[in-house]
Amino acid sequence: MSENHTKRTQPQKRSAWVSTSTLAIELGVTSKHIRQRLKDEVLKPSEHYRNITPHGWRPTYRWHLKKFLEAVESSSLA
């Protein structure tokens, strides 16, 4: 007699690093607004954001959601 075993899957953990569009949705702002925050010199590479296409013509960023929010709150950038 064969039993029907279903594979239990763990809920996937959400990465701390999110795309520009995901970050914009979380903050309720535009992607352009997020990119403009780079010019404010409050955000630091590798701490608040990463360029995942360092040799690409157009950079693609991943943002550390928690650290970005902390930086925004402490500097009133939003």
What pLDDT is recorded for position 52?
A: 97
Q: How far apart are the first and last CA of the chain?
A: 62
CB 25 within 8 A of CB 16: no
What's the sign of the alpha-carbon dihedral 35, 18, 46, 73? positive
The pLDDT value recorded for residue 67 is 95
What CATH number should be reported for the domain whose range is 17-75?
A: 1.10.1660.60
Q: What is the mean pLDDT of each run of 10 residues along the chain (78 residues)?
A: 60 85 95 88 92 94 95 73
Cα 67 to Cα 16, 17, 18, 47, 59, distances in angstroms: 9, 10, 11, 7, 20
